[in-house]
Amino acid sequence: MEVAVARATGAMSDAPVETAQGDPPGGRMTVAVIALGVVVIALVVAVAVLGSSVWRTQGALDQRAAAEQSARQTAVNLASIDYRTVNQGIDRVLSGMTGEVKTQWATQSKTIADTATKTQSMSTVQSVNAGVVSMDGDSAEVIVAVTAVTTSPKVRQGAPRYYRFTMDLTRVDGRWLVSKLGLVP
């Protein structure tokens, strides 16, 4: 009633006008804006955390796929050496290797080339299956199964060959390279 009387008489004071509930005007609005701001900040933080997690997960999946693909390619290169292009085949194998296994292959490359040329063997890969066994940072273990058909003047119709490799891979300058190679019995 005082407010109505003050307005009617033209007497206005510097005191805030109160609503029927006793809150200053805009008080509820200020609380609502602050609450909305807190909710928006919480949502931004949640989206950033979730996005970062998805990004890291996708990065790990990409590295896993890259390691598997590198092992697959090295296995195909190993199983498809052709006497007509034996030196290029050996170079392809070596390009997917690093460390001691690369040194061993380079040391044996003349024997491999001589044997392939002498027997005039050609090998064609029919199928490749690979799977990552384990992975940790810059190292991975992959098993690769390859089915190939090898022909030569003595085996014109071709003979199937089955290879199962276990490969340890190391990431070197962003590339996955075979650092250890073994045959699985």
Structural domains in the chain, sorted by start: 42-183 (3.10.450.540)
Per-residue pLDDT band for 4 (boundaries 50, 70, 90) equals: very low
- Measured distance CA(120)–CA(46) in Å, rounded: 63
Higher pLDDT pick, 15 / 161: 161
Q: What is the pTM of this model?
A: 0.71
Predicted local distance difference test score (pLDDT) of residue 6: 46
13 pLDDT more than 70: no
